[in-house]
Amino acid sequence: TFGGTMTQVVLPQAFRATVPPMASVFIALLKNTSVAYAFGILEATARMKYFTNISGTDLPIFLIFAAGYVVLVEIISFGANRLERRWSVAR
């Protein structure tokens, strides 16, 4: 039947094919939204300025913020990798 063909053949193949591109899109979306909207450039700058006033050094604070982005990207990459392995076809 059409429903059986879709659920047992077409959709599993489509999910397997879309995991790597969707992971890339999610990573790009995370970076872009966190810099431009959700995190807010002014808010991030104000936080960094607050932290630099306390510690007096700029570089470690900027590196910590950058490391936060790296951690988030690694989490998404790990999840995508797990999905790719789970849905991979034995060859």
The secondary element (H helix, E strand) that includes residue 13 is: helix 11-36
Q: What is the pLDDT of residues 28-71, one digit of tens each?
A: 887 777 666 555 667 777 777 777 777 667 778 778 878 888 88
Contacts of 34 (CB under 8 A, 6+ apart): 69, 72
Q: How confident is the model at residue 89 (pLDDT cuts 50, 70, 90)?
A: low
Report pLDDT for 49: 76
Specify the pTM: 0.57
Report pLDDT for 17: 86
